[in-house]
């Protein structure tokens, strides 16, 4: 096992100018959240009966779930397929997935009209509803992610509990709980890892199934009976690029080893996965004859072309070029393009391609929607930094960065 596979807290200055900017976005988002719960959805959004889903569903939920796929794809690779050399990137991928799904849940609470009824799917089962499947899978998977994260907490705090004053009588209790979790989870963790992979596949495809009931509202360039398959394959394809993206950013900003010996093989797998997604996508378009809409000059046709060119075709050829695959900069750019492509796909399916036949106005996000989304993204990054600073998530050893 190499040195960079031993995670430890990062000894870096936390409060930087970038962190203060994130705090400013978070506080702005809180102000609009207060306005949302005082005045309702109409006070801060442009949503209406013909456009019930907006920026929060397209970005915060659909895109957030897809980009959190790095958690289950790396877990499957390292723990199910036995490729232990990739364990160095499983912890940051797990942390990203856990925070991603946490903020997906928070966004849903804000987005639904009656937030206090968020627990209803767990009690009032609607077994014929795709939305019920998605809600249950996300709910259970979020708990699975928290359980998978417990060993990181145990590793950091076991043997270190020292509560102040009279609370010190609880030290032995907490130490006992940590020891118990350490002994039990080590033996049963494989159950949660497999459950996480199965649940992820179910709700990733389930999100695509949501639009199958809207064939007259979703533009033909995106509507297809294969939508669940496209959502699943694109989520799997973006899993490893997300790992490359966050690992490169962390190594650059924190001065860590950039782990090219892991990122290059992951990118080779991405070539295969992205190629499958692209092949099915183009094949479906040719079979259904929807290519006739490509050059009709509408906003939808332009959005589809940008999504496919920027997010699929260009990065696929970049990774396919042998001389570029070993370049740190190329891997980062290609991974970023794939991430942008998946985000564009989710926004196109839920916003750009969604055309209600009786809508009197078009939808564009309000300032309040954008501020709350920016606040959530800033809060996610802020908590990620807190975790890697104080918990053993990243690998601070061998602090070398390959330019």
CA distance 347 to 356: 16
Q: Of 226, 199, 320, 323, give the one whose Cα is nearest residue 270.
A: 320
Whether residue 78 has pLDDT greater than 50: yes
Res 261: pLDDT = 83
pLDDT in tens, 329-387: 899 999 999 999 999 999 999 999 988 887 778 889 999 999 999 999 999 999 999 99
> Residue 136: which residues within 8 A CB-CB, separation 6 or more?
121, 122
Res 202: pLDDT = 86
SS (H, E, C) 284-338: HHHHHCHHHHCCCCCHHHHHHHHHHHHHHHHHHHHHHCHHHHCCHHHHHHHHHHH
| Cα 385–Cα 201–Cα 228 angle in degrees, nearest 5 | 115
CA distance 31 to 16: 23
CA distance 229 to 224: 10
Better-predicted residue by pLDDT, 36 or 80: 36
Give the burial string for 193-221 (b: 16+ CB within 10 Å, else e).
bebbbebbbbbbbbbbbbbeeeeeebbbb
Instruction: Work out the average pLDDT over 181-210.
Output: 88
Better-predicted residue by pLDDT, 322 or 268: 268
Q: What are phi and psi of 204, to 5 degrees?
A: -65, -45
Number of Cβ within 10 Å of residue 165's Cβ equals 6
Query: What percentage of the chain has pLDDT greater than the value 70?
Result: 97
Confidence of residue 5 (pLDDT cuts 50, 70, 90): low
Q: Is 218 helix (H, G, I), strand (E, B) or coil?
A: strand
Are the CB atoms for 175 and 161 separated by under 8 Å? yes
CA distance 124 to 132: 9
What's the gap between Cα 238 and its chain centre?
Answer: 9
Whether residue 4 has pLDDT greater than 70: no
């Amino acid at each position: 096992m190499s040195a960079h596979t031993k995670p430890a807290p990062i000894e870096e200055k936390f409060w930087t100018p970038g962190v203060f900017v994130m705090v400013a976005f978070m506080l702005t988002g809180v102000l609009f959240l207060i306005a949302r719960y005082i005045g309702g959805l109409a006070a801060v959004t442009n949503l209406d009966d013909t456009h019930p889903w907006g920026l929060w569903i397209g970005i915060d939920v659909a895109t957030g779930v897809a980009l959190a796929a790095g958690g289950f794809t790396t877990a499957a690779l390292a723990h199910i397929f036995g490729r232990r050399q990739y364990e160095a990137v499983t912890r940051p991928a797990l942390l990203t997935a856990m925070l991603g799904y946490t903020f997906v849940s928070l966004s849903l609470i804000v987005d639904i009209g009656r937030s206090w009824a968020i627990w209803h799917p767990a009690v009032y089962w609607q077994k014929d509803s795709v939305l019920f499947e998605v809600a249950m899978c996300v709910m259970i998977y979020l708990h699975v992610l928290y359980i998978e994260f417990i060993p990181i907490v145990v590793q950091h705090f076991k043997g270190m509990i020292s509560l102040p004053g009279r609370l010190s009588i609880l030290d032995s209790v907490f130490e006992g709980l940590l020891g118990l979790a350490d002994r039990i989870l080590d033996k049963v963790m494989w159950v949660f890892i497999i459950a996480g992979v199965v649940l992820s596949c179910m709700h990733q495809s389930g999100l695509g199934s949501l639009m199958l009931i809207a064939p007259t509202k979703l533009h033909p360039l995106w509507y297809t009976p294969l939508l669940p398959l496209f959502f699943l394959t694109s989520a799997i394809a973006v899993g490893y690029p997300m790992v490359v993206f966050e690992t490169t950013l962390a190594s650059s900003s924190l001065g860590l080893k950039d782990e090219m010996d892991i990122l290059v093989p992951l990118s080779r797998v991405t070539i295969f996965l992205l190629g499958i997604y692209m092949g099915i996508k183009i094949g479906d378009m040719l079979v259904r004859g929807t290519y006739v809409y490509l050059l009709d000059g509408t906003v939808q046709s332009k959005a589809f072309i940008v999504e496919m060119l920027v997010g699929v075709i260009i990065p696929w050829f970049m990774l396919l070029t042998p001389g570029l695959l070993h370049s740190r900069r190329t891997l980062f750019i290609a991974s970023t393009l794939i991430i942008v492509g998946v985000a564009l796909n989710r926004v196109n399916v839920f916003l750009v391609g969604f055309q209600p036949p009786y809508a009197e106005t078009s939808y564009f996000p309000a300032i309040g929607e954008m501020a709350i989304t920016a606040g959530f993204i800033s809060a996610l990054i802020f908590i990620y930094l807190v975790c890697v600073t104080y918990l053993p998530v990243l690998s601070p050893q061998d602090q070398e960065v390959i330019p």
